[in-house]
Amino acid sequence: MTHPAAADLIARSNRLGSDPKNTNYAGGNTSAKGTETDPVTGQPVELVWVKGSGGDLGTLTEQGLAVLRLDRMRALVDVYPGLEREDEMVAAFDYCLHGKGGAAPSIDTAMHGLVDAPHVDHLHPDSGIAVATAADGQELTSTIFGDKVVWVPWRRPGFQLGLDIAEIKEKNPQAIGCILGGHGITAWGETSDEAERASLWIIDTAAAYIAEHSRPEPFGPPLAGYAPLPQAERRAKAAALGATIRGIASQDRPMVGHFTDTGEVLDFLASSEHPRLGALGTSCPDHFLRTKVKPLVLDLPSDAPVEDCVARLKELAVAYREDYQAYYDRHATPESPAIRGADPLIVLVPGVGMFSFGKDKQTARVAGEFYVNAINVMRGAEGLSTYAPIDEAEKFRIEYWALEEAKLQRMPKPKPLATRVALVTGAAGGIGKATAKKLAAEGACVVIADLSLEKAQAAAAEIGGSDVAVGVAADVSDEDAVQAMVDAAVLAFGGVDLVVNNAGLSLSKSLMDTTAADWDLQHNVMAKGSFLVSKATAKVMVGQEMGGDIVYISSKNSVFAGPNNIAYSATKADQAHQVRLLAAELGAHGIKVNGVNPDGVVQGSGIFASGWGANRAAVYGVEEKDLGTFYAQRTILKREVLPENIANAVFVLCGPDMTHTTGLHVPVDAGVAAAFLR
């Protein structure tokens, strides 16, 4: 049964964390103190429940709490070895834990245990950080809050900061909280509701003061030529630049991308002070750990041609990497972790928006959200004073903190297709849907394309949220529709790495019954459609300079001659040869092109359900319901072929064990001797 103090803490945390004005995703921490019976002694024991390392307040559950004995934790004060060795105290928290299970204690645990208040909140609100990063933040704190909130000069999170805040609370009994210089806020209360009211009062009071007293143009006057482009135009330009930008962000390791064109970003980039402020970087540790110390900012006007933007971005990328390496070299010591990569995680394009990157879509999206937080912080600080983030030496100490490195090392091993963006056509059902599910299960982000937007979105929702899969409408026989599909993939996930040409249909007719319209329809969808999809996606892959995979779902019929199948089999043969042609052409760019030749995939097949199954059953003289069994019995292995079997073959071709194979067709037909490749 959940302790009442912990239950109140979880409810309060969820309320605070669900509103972005209070704190960012996975940012901040909260705590509650209470008494429970020690199961060993039967005596009362004082405990502190505190949000554990890596958790998110908005979705916090009991499993996300660390539970520590207060007597043991406060006894650590007597053995604290001093500021130079304060990192050792994090390991000491493990010896203060009560019971088993729960989350690992975070670096901020000391703040919660040592502050003499039953309930404590530490948050990262934009309004509070704006005051915390203002050049005269200490004076502003007094002006805005009087003696109810106390200024704490910047100190890296840790045991000493916990001691500092505990002393401040003791010496200022009238105070309800404090502003942590360069960082955020901490508030406390005798009850959970009182702590929450204190946190919200600090946040809302700061926001109201900024709104009333801010300069009219905190980012300076508009910068001529840098105004936002119209929505359709800026999104088209974002899609055109996306491949280049993702390649820039993925030189050290592949990244997934996210695009944002919110008003905060566009207004910031349209103002004259954005180059200066961008170069100063972010301040709150939660911000720059997600965004790097500063972004890459394109220094061209909104209407600069795409070709000019591409060329300039590549120049700026070289300079960015050199600058980051110099930053690392200035501050690294022999004990510092190795450099984690010199690529930008935030790329800003005036008139267009922001590209953010991470190891997966959620990380990329959250990085973008954090930079929007940073923009809001800079607006508030500049509106009241001058934005003055913590200096880069302090940023380095946190970015390359041994404790941060240890947290990264504890992360689970990535799945085989992590960071890869897959686009599957005809993916609302059958082979396409099974393939999309398989690729997502192996770590890929997936774009599900289908003629029906409703069905594509339903399939995507079945696979996962928008951080995993999105559904788009696409008629693959229409060049403009194909380009729109590819653009949607770039805007959703940053680019494209893995393409499955699966869209298809079939009309089972004899030569004499096959009309020119029948012929054109099947060739337009499969032969022309595969060509258009491969062309549009290969352009993205070449621009990314990250290699890639194109897989054609062809057919046994591409090599097997059967009756009443002229149009379908001919177009499948066309697809099969496209595999060989493109393998030869795209290999120079590290792009592999392979095919899968299924046969008799009846279950879940849209083709078979639309009349093809009935026609094939009539040709072979069996009941339509028995067609799958019929196909199985004519194979060497006597096994029915399922959509999942095709999906498995696609994964193998694109996975980590087939890196040196291109131009191959893999039969997945349970063994049809007449279709053996020669």
Which residues are catalytically annotated?
Answer: 568
Q: What are phi and psi of 501, to 5 degrees?
A: -80, 95
Instruction: Name the E strands within 502-557.
Output: 548-553
Q: What are phi and psi of 522, to 5 degrees?
A: -70, -40
**In whole angstroms, what is the distance from residue 22 CA to residue 606 CA?**
49
Let me know the angle formed at the C-alpha of 401 by 398 and 405, rounded to the nearest 5 degrees.
125
Nearest to 272 by CA among 313, 334, 219: 219
**In whole angstroms, what is the distance from residue 562 CA to residue 508 CA?**
11
Q: What are phi and psi of 366, to 5 degrees?
A: -65, -35
Q: Which two tokens stand for residue 576?
A: 């099969």
**In whole angstroms, what is the distance from residue 387 CA to residue 377 CA?**
8
Q: Which two tokens stand for residue 671?
A: 């063994």
CB 128 within 8 A of CB 381: no
Nearest to 382 by CA among 495, 274, 499: 274
**In whole angstroms, what is the distance from residue 140 CA to residue 218 CA?**
17
What is the amino acid identity at position 552? Y
CB 176 within 8 A of CB 188: yes
**In whole angstroms, what is the distance from residue 433 CA to residue 449 CA?**
10
CB 130 within 8 A of CB 374: no
Length of the chain: 678
